[in-house]
Amino acid sequence: MKLKIWITILISFLLLVIASLTFLLSMCALEETFETNILDHNYRLFNLINEKRGQTILSDELNSGDWSMVCFLGPYSTDSSTVLGFDWDIEKYTDVLQSDGYNVLVFVNQGEVFDFIIQSRDKGDFSSLSQQCLNKGAVLKINQTTMNVTI
């Protein structure tokens, strides 16, 4: 009789250990997914905006490389294909636009995405430009106190 009780206790303990390990592993997997999908900000872009507070910059300074147009996706503007004018779904790459805290800058060249930057709004807020596209060379104003970027 005592042996049955000990076996039951041992099995219960092993099940508890397995459940705990499963939970910990799933939390690690979720944390890795979260870190992959939500980057805090582009450090170079933050430094540019921070240094140029109260001034203007050219859109060329947002990203180097071969692009001709930058499009802005603010919070909850997940219909990137409509904004860009061609089929490209931002939600395949990140889910940050499902919250208030992020903007995505999409750099386009000849109808294709060249690059995109996820930017935390407290590190440079482009939300007033949401669902707009600007040509390379456009003038942008950076607010002195809020770091809001406008045209």
* pLDDT tens digit sequence for 90-135: 888 888 888 889 999 999 999 999 999 999 899 999 999 999 999 9
C-alpha angle 7-11-16 in degrees, rounded to nearest 5: 150
Give dist(CA 124, CA 39) in Å, integer: 14
Q: What is the structure's pLDDT at 38?
A: 45
Mean pLDDT for 66-85 is: 91
Binning pLDDT at 50, 70 and 90, where does residue 35 land?
Answer: very low
Residue 33 has pLDDT above 70, yes or no: no
38-73 pLDDT, tens digit per residue, is 455 688 899 999 999 999 999 999 988 899 999 999
Binning pLDDT at 50, 70 and 90, where does residue 11 land?
Answer: confident
Segment holding 31, helix H or strand E: helix 2-37
List the strands of the sheet with 139-142, edge to edge: 56-58, 139-142, 149-150
Share of the chain residues as helix, strand and coil, in percent rounded to the nearest 5: 45, 25, 30
Q: What is the structure's pLDDT at 21?
A: 74
Mean pLDDT for 12-36 is: 65
Q: What is the structure's pLDDT at 34?
A: 43
Beta-strand ranges (E) seen in the chain are 56-58, 69-73, 102-109, 112-120, 132-135, 139-142, 149-150
Handedness of CA 129, 134, 136, 139 (dihedral sign): negative
